[in-house]
Amino acid sequence: MTASALDNPPSHNPSRRDFQVMGLIGVAHGISHFYQQALPPLFGPMKDAFQVSFTELGALLTVMSVTSCVGQMLAGIAVDRYGARRLLIGGLALIGIALALAGFAQSYWHLVVLAVVAGIGNCVFHPCDFAILNASVSAPRMGRAYGTHGLFGTLGWPASIALMWFLSETVGWRYAAMIAGAIGIAMAMIIAATSNLYIDHRVIRTDGASPAAGGRHGARGVGSVSLAVLFSAPILMCLVYFVFAAMTGPSINAFGSQALASIYDVTPKVAANAVIAYYVGSALGVVTGGWLADRTDRHDRVAAIGLLCAALFMGFCATAALPFIGTAFLMAVAGFCSGATGPSRDMIVRKATPPGASGKVFGFVYSGLDIGSAIGPLIFGYMMDHGMPKGILIMTAVLFLMAMASVITIRRISVSQKLAAA
């Protein structure tokens, strides 16, 4: 693509083009989250079909997350060198194929192999998504871009819970997996057919300027940024933050329904409504958080306050002092508080990212999500197998507090480095 083409993107309306990119990448991100939690609603019938424990089923999520973690670091480097579009299309197709084939699995070990394949497909999303957003969206709308990205991702989880429960009960878990797998394959085809209308897969932001200001360059020239940047103190603390934040996911997504069903003596299907409420609240929080992120420079303060409130509300849910409907409401409030931190969290990472290293840094830092998602299912699956459902909610509250401490530490490190450089 020529320089003039880069300066004159397909849409002559920058605002419209920004929102087109936000929508396209947001939907892709939502589907990736849909797949991350497509199996847990099927754990009940899968447990009976393969005669395995919840810990072993949770290990499937661990295998997927470990594979994704390793692959995400490599995907980040590939994005900076070769561009994001093809990787994104391939990832969507691969993770969809893996889930569809799970419907044909004849043993637990077949599922383990498919979890590895799904992890390879999942590894591309964050480095691809953020490289495209950073390159294609104007700076004044970047907070809302991150908010939209987080919103669709957040909605992917309750959509997965609701659809997979419905499909499992109507057509059985095997057909449920096949049908769900077709969604990713279809989305990959849609992006392949339409994304060139909005984005150039070879460009990423290299100087922090808005695309309209000419702050975009071919990706092939930016891969020279040293990998040493990944081991700077702010980037490492961002990684730690994501590990703690991600560990809360399996507690709510994979085992929240089972835990609440045990605590309140209701069916897992009924208990799933509280989990859905959490993610509806989280989605509303992400929208609010995107608005806040565009109107403040103290993103660390927004993230810390939101995480503290989420910890307090989740901790109260663990007391089971309220009836189930009251706990479902508090879960929604906790979700709102947690969701509101998302766009500010992404802005914190963006501020710490040197020019030309968007794919590397976001790939490395967001591998923390995979690390946390790998550790969490084993811990929470063990708790469920040993009769500690309330412990799942208590541990979730503790993890929110640890994530809050990480955000505060990132701020202190950044301030100290600025003072030392002055």
The 3-state DSSP class for residue 217 equals: strand
Could you tell me the pLDDT band of residue 198, with boundaries at 50, 70 and 90? low
Q: Which residues pair with 263 in a beta bridge?
A: none
> What is the structure's pLDDT at 199?
53
> What is the structure's pLDDT at 330?
94
The answer to whether 176 and 99 have CB atoms below 8 angstroms apart is: no
Give the type of residue at 64: M
> What is the structure's pLDDT at 195?
62
Please count the residues of the chain: 422
Check whether 114 has a pLDDT greater than 90.
yes
> What is the structure's pLDDT at 209?
39
The answer to whether 303 and 407 have CB atoms below 8 angstroms apart is: yes
The percentage of residues in the chain with a pLDDT greater than 90, rounded to a whole number, is 21
Q: In the structure encoding, which two tokens stand for residue 68, read together?
A: 């994704």
Which CATH code for domain 9-415? Answer: 1.20.1250.20
The total of other beta-carbon atoms located within 10 Å of residue 7's CB is 12
Mean pLDDT of the chain: 80
The 3-state DSSP class for residue 101 equals: helix
Burial profile 50-79: b = 16 or more Cβ within 10 angstroms, e = fewer: bebebbbbbbbbbbbbbbbbebbbebbbbb
Check whether 61 has a pLDDT greater than 80.
yes
**Could you tell me which residue, 74 or 334, shows the higher pLDDT?**
334
**Using CA of residue 381, residue 385, residue 389, residue 395, what is the dihedral sign?**
negative
Q: What is the pTM of this model?
A: 0.69
Task: Render pLDDT for 323-367 as a digit per residue (tens, 0 to 9).
Answer: 999 999 999 999 999 989 888 887 887 777 776 666 677 778 878
Q: What is d(CA 265, CA 119) in angstroms, rounded to the nearest whole number?
A: 34
Check whether 74 has a pLDDT greater than 60.
yes
Check whether 223 has a pLDDT greater than 50.
no
Least confidently predicted of 94-98, 101-105, 301-305, 412-416: 412-416
Task: Render pLDDT for 141-179 as a digit per residue (tens, 0 to 9).
Answer: 777 888 888 888 878 877 888 899 899 889 999 999 999
CA torsion 103-74-246-250 (nearest 10°) is: 20
Running DSSP on this structure, what letter comes out for residue 263? H
Find the mean pLDDT for residues 274-296: 86
Least confidently predicted of 159-168, 246-255, 318-327: 246-255
> What is the structure's pLDDT at 68?
87
